[in-house]
Amino acid sequence: MTSILKADTIQDTDGNNIINENSNTITIGASGDTTNIVGTLQNNGAAVGGTNTPAFHVKMDGSQTFAHSTTTKIEFDEEVFDSDSKYDTSTYRFTPTVNGKYLITLSFYFDGGGASNLRNCNVYIYKNGSVYGQVGYDSAGGYGNNGLRNITSIMELDSDDYVEAYVNFNVQDSSSSTGGGNTVNLAQFSGMKIIE
């Protein structure tokens, strides 16, 4: 035997609305209430909610030396956090192993080794060994000294994709340059899965 309960409003013993239906809109609870869902909340059969993981945030143990006009991987070797152990501090690579869209950010301090010595500096986010995103500093008619570059990308990653950070310095005297540092404000690389 099937029973049907028909009501536009269900109230608690104090007369407060618990569930209300009005013009095809269902309201559960009231402002200030805490609503606990036991089980899985779904939207047309798909689970609602999720977490922003895998997620990682890394920095550098110290500064790094870079050869003139050579694109080089940045050695982010110190984890601030790594939710699922998906960042490798020996290969400096994030391999999420979980399909989805990811927000990836890179911030990097560069030093040309003296006033007017720096021509340009480009920082890159690489996907599977190729440039995915890039931002740079170009002193154009003059030469600079140092600066900080930031880049953010949203990328689709499959389970076997990987992400890395690279930099390229070009200096007036063709000498080596330094970049990064052991504080987060000088060098950081991070990423997280976007909830879809």
Q: What is the pLDDT of residues 13-46, one digit of tens each?
A: 888 888 888 888 888 877 778 888 787 777 777 7
Query: 143 is in which domain, residue-wise?
Result: 55-193
Expressed in angstroms, the distance from the first to the final Cα of the chain is: 41
17 within a domain of the structure (yes/no): no
What is the pLDDT at residue 142? Answer: 56
Instruction: Assess if residue 14 is contained within a domain.
Output: no
In a domain, residue 38? The reply is no
160 part of a folded domain: yes
DSSP 69: T
- CB atoms under 10 Å from CB of 3, counted, come to 4
When divided into structural domains, the chain yields a total of 1
In a domain, 157, yes or no: yes
Do the domain assignments include residue 48?
no
Amino acid at 176: S
Q: What is the pTM of this model?
A: 0.77
Output the domain CATH number for residue 172: 2.60.120.40
Determine, yes or no, domain membership for 24. Answer: no
Burial of 47 (0-12, 13-18, 19+ CB in 10 A): exposed
Would 151 be classed as within a structural domain? Answer: yes
